[in-house]
């Protein structure tokens, strides 16, 4: 199954460092946003802790994933994973890119990593005031045939 993501095109072009950018070309805001997104994924994927997930989401959080309704829906997804897929985790993080208020995470994921990746996922997260306010994803599955 391939889900299509309908979002405005965003240029992900790294530019030369300006005075507010670090040596890597990442601004202070982008560095903060990356830390927030990493904390969010630690809560969602590693710890599967709904309260930890909720700390990284604004109350007016919008999920553009039809199966996840707002902040509570994302917290409920952490609970679902903890109960139904306790071993689920990243298999390989391919890219994590920050540009302004947007962080993009591209990775493979498995409900049982010992069996290999089940999904190829690209998540788009928009941040405001240090919290995630909007989310989109593109998911490709299956990645393997058979058991």
User: Residues 60-74: what's their mean pLDDT?
Assistant: 94
DSSP state of 13: -
Nearest Cα residue to 125 out of 25, 58, 79, 78: 58
> Does the pLDDT at position 110 exceed 90?
yes
More confident residue, 52 or 17: 52
3-state DSSP call for residue 128?
Answer: strand
Q: What does the pLDDT average to over 40-64?
A: 97
For 27, which DSSP code? B
Residues 6+ apart with CB under 8 A from 44: 53, 74, 77, 78, 81
Q: How far apart are CA 23 and CA 145, in angstroms?
A: 43
Enter the CATH code of domain 28-140: 3.10.450.50
Contacts for 117-121: CB closer than 8 Å, 24+ residues apart: 117/91, 117/92, 117/143, 117/144, 118/142, 118/143, 118/144, 119/143
Summarised one tens digit per residue, pLDDT across range 115-136 is: 999 999 999 999 999 999 999 9
- What tokens were used for 114? 């010992």
**What are the structural domain ranges in the chain?**
28-140
The answer to whether the CB of 104 falls within 8 A of the CB of 121 is no
The per-residue pLDDT for 144 is 67
CA distance 41 to 44: 5
């Amino acid at each position: 199954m391939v889900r299509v993501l309908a979002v405005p095109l965003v240029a992900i072009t790294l530019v030369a460092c300006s005075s507010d950018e670090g040596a890597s070309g990442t601004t202070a805001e982008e560095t903060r946003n990356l830390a927030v997104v990493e904390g969010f994924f630690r809560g969602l994927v590693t710890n599967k802790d709904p309260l930890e997930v909720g700390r990284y989401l604004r109350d007016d959080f919008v999920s553009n994933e039809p199966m996840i309704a707002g902040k509570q829906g994302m917290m409920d997804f952490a609970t679902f994973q903890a109960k139904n897929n306790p071993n689920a985790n990243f298999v390989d993080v391919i890219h994590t890119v920050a540009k302004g208020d947007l962080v993009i995470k591209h990775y493979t994921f498995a409900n049982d990593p010992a069996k290999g990746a089940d999904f190829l996922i690209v998540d788009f997260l928009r941040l405001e005031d240090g919290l995630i306010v909007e989310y989109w994803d593109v998911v490709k599955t299956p990645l393997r045939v058979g058991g």
